[in-house]
Amino acid sequence: MNATASPAFDSVKIGIVSISDRASSGVYVDKGLPALQDWLTRALKNPLQFEPRLIPDEQAVISATLIELVEAGCALVLTTGGTGPARRDVTPEATLAVAHKEMPGFGEQMRQISLKFVPTAILSRQMAVIRDQSLIINLPGQPKSIQETLEGLRDSNGESVMAGIFAAVPYCIDLIGGPYLDTVESVCKAFRPKAAIRPSPSSD
């Protein structure tokens, strides 16, 4: 459980999925799941329950895993890996196959962030969808890129210069009937319309 978590905040179940033929077969150590869990633990005040999965780049396996996590009650499912143009990169196709709604703005923003670093960001196919009451987001494969796309970019003074996608995640989950996510503002400040903001639980 994250150190800042308090029972006063809604408990949240989050699916984290690393998609890699080589990591899932033990060729190398997976870095995606630890990166996702570390960032989410720092960014959220809620008590968190993680459902981790390490799976190969197989479209049917990815789709089945996403459905399993949604049915297990994960309000948020984050995947990493398999979003490029290579033959074995099928994460977006597997995600679309289980989607009830597409949320294209997430992918657009992720590419805008990555384009600040590499022109090949236009080759990435990260995306987000909704299935039932769950938000599913395909993230990049590298831990540094995961943090940048979730958290956004800051200048040398620590001021935000480009919002990360996670700023919009809590309100999106509100709108689809999920738990209320409270973020640690020094990591990622969530944006909600004033009418949607709950008073912060007492820390006493």
95-112 pLDDT, tens digit each: 999 999 999 999 999 999
Residue 131: name the closest of 171, 177, 164 by CA: 177
| Residue pointed to by tokens 């912060």 | 200
Taking the C-alpha atoms of residue 172 and residue 103, their distance in angstroms, rounded to an integer, is 10
* Dihedral sign for Cα atoms in the order 170, 133, 131, 25: positive
**59: domain CATH number?**
3.40.980.10
Number of domains in the chain: 1
Tell me which H or E stretch contains 101: strand 101-102
Q: Does some domain include residue 186?
A: yes
Is 144 within 8 Å of 31 (Cβ atoms)?
no
Residue 74 tokens, joined: 């994960």
Q: Does some domain include residue 16?
A: yes
Q: Say what the alpha-carbon torsion angle 156, 160, 163, 167 is, to the nearest 10 degrees.
A: 120
pLDDT score, position 204: 45
Q: Does some domain include residue 163?
A: yes
pLDDT score, position 43: 98
Q: Does some domain include residue 20?
A: yes
Q: Does some domain include residue 152?
A: yes
What pTM did the predictor assign?
A: 0.94
Long-range pairs of 92-95 with CB within 8 A, sequence gap ≥ 24: 92/125, 92/126, 92/127, 92/138, 93/59, 94/59, 94/60, 94/62, 94/63, 94/66, 95/62, 95/63, 95/66, 95/127, 95/129, 95/136, 95/138
Domain hosting 126: range is: 12-192
Spell out a b/e string for 108-124, using b for 16 or more CB atoms within 10 Å of the CB, else e: ebbbebbeeeeeebeeb
Q: Does some domain include residue 183?
A: yes
What spatial distance separates the first Cα and last Cα of the chain, rounded to whole Å?
19
How wide is the angle at C-alpha 100 spanned by C-alphas 99 and 102, nearest 5°? 70
| Residue pointed to by tokens 């703005």 | 105
Q: Does some domain include residue 179?
A: yes
Mean pLDDT per 10-residue interval, the chain, length 204 residues: 67 97 92 96 98 97 98 98 96 98 98 96 97 97 95 90 96 98 95 93 58
Q: Does some domain include residue 201?
A: no
